[in-house]
Structure 1
């Protein structure tokens, strides 16, 4: 699929937008640092771990685990690609990240134990553990799959149906609840539309959901467009996280590329899981406005896992990685 220069800028904005939203939200997660009414969010680091200023958290690290596979040209619906993504999740987990979601930790820990005992088929094992967790925890539709879903889009810009399938499969590696998969399908399709058409349409993927849940999702999205953004806290539930990101984006004036910056501030001001909501919003905002819309100060500061010979990935690496994905080639 040949992208125009403008579309390519928007495609490379997907990962960068995710990362800057994440790094901006890190200091304020779960009120680690109270944001004053007159204060503008800054990449101060800290938060739930010893994050350096500008360092992204698990949201972007897990997105990177997916992006590294997408950049190989893989079809993310295949077992080989899902195995590679699952292996990357485990590599990140084995590196001892300071902040890991409860559900993700449980699934990855159980997967590592089974693999260490001699089982094979890493994505199969991981999906089984995710399903077991969901069966034992009726309210397991956390936001941990949605926060990392943006790079799935880059592998399947040319095929919305394949994209929806990939989004649900990648989500199911750790989050088996159907609502988690639904949220990833909706957000991925919104990002795809933003990259290709330069517009934001959070309703675009409703037809890709099972009919018995599409009407409920429409009501949830309608609420996001009409209710005050602060309504959507707490936001650890994937529905509330999607609503919070949607509300921050749609309630912020969108006259120009400053929309990205201002909407990320709005996402963080909602509170609670600030890095995750801002990372989710950043993926769509980057897809709409492009990498070129990200302030230079943020580009220079943002960094994180994975590390190459001790050097963290940076904004330049994110842009190069996103640009390497050639869907349909």
Structure 2
């Protein structure tokens, strides 16, 4: 593990808080088109929107991320425990901003139903082509941070890939979803090392593609990701921001690479439109980790539901990841 205990704690805190605030910024703009947001861009926390939530409300993205953190802290790598926590969130509104569950993806819901009916956790996720949503990518951040804390990875190996893929498989088992999670995590591994932002992202993408090129289980989807090394040079018109997992990964990396601070990155993500909360959360996790928790605007932090509680949780999570080594 490169860096000091304090360094890792700051990485975790920045990543988790950056994710949550990005999610909350995006909730009131979800389903709005890019053209509509050009006329009325998001510049800070809003209320209302399609879900009629108070300003600072985060969505299922953060709820499932918090469930993942709780599971890793209290049970280690235990996919049954993870799925039980997802079920508790879905039916009992645990780990929600205001005691209400909203905006649950159909693939995620179906996987939780499968588990509740007795299906083994690693058999709950679907593999059909129409189940390649971003529902596992949006909650993979704690797993990546856990791997860094436990093992100090700067790239994928069989152990890290197994943890990442299995975490995805619980709800989203298609190889495309697994690979998107693996690339995101490998970029995060490189960002944790410091250096230069663009170099770290490039190395993360290159390292992940090199790993997946050699794995026949991903041969059918490998080509989908081959354009990622050029993502920072794309024009905005090429970036799509719906719920398809590949598009979310592309959009998040593009926002990170084409901006120079946390605020601009997540606002860019939200104002792309469509699946605004997830795009901003996934981008915000990387940006928060890179720029640090102090880069999150104070007025956004103060407006975000349970911000102080989540900040304290992120610190406990950091200690837990290191303590178990």
TM-score (norm 1): 0.82
Is 1:206 aligned with 2:201? no
Q: Any residues of structure 2 matched to 1:235-314 within 5 Å, and which? A: 235-252=242-259, 254=260, 259-303=261-305, 314=309
Query: How far apart are the structure 1 equivalents of 2:313 and 2:24?
Result: 14
Who is 1:170 aligned against?
167
Q: Is the 8 A contact 2:122 2:170 kept in 1?
A: yes
- How far apart are 1:294 and its partner, in Å? 1.4
- How far apart are 1:295 and its partner, in Å? 1.6
Who is 1:307 aligned against?
none
TM-score (norm 2): 0.83
Q: Which has the higher helix share?
A: 2
Who is 2:96 aligned against?
none
Deviates most, 278-287 or 47-56:
47-56
1:129-188: CA deviation from partner (whole Å, max 9, x where unpaired): 323xx3xx4221111110111111121102442332211100000001000000001111
Who is 1:308 aligned against?
none
Who is 2:182 aligned against?
185
Q: Any residues of structure 2 matched to 1:5-16 within 5 Å, and which? A: 5-16=6-17
Partner residue of 1:129 out of 119, 124, 127: 124
Query: How far apart are the structure 1 equivalents of 2:103 and 2:115?
Result: 18
Deviates most, 162-171 or 229-238:
229-238
Who is 2:98 aligned against?
none
Unmatched 5+ stretches in structure 1: 305-311
Partner residue of 1:319 out of 295, 311, 314: 314
- How far apart are 1:244 and its partner, in Å? 0.8
Query: How far apart are the structure 2 equivalents of 1:27 and 1:241?
Result: 18
Query: How far apart are the structure 1 equivalents of 2:75 and 2:120?
Result: 24
Query: How far apart are the structure 2 equivalents of 1:293 and 1:95?
Result: 34
Report SS of the residue matched to 1:31.
coil
Aligned residues: CA RMSD? 2.5
1:111-146: CA deviation from partner (whole Å, max 9, x where unpaired): 32x1xxxx4xxxx53432323xx3xx4221111110
Query: How far apart are the structure 1 equivalents of 2:221 and 2:193?
Result: 24
Is 1:147 aligned with 2:138? yes
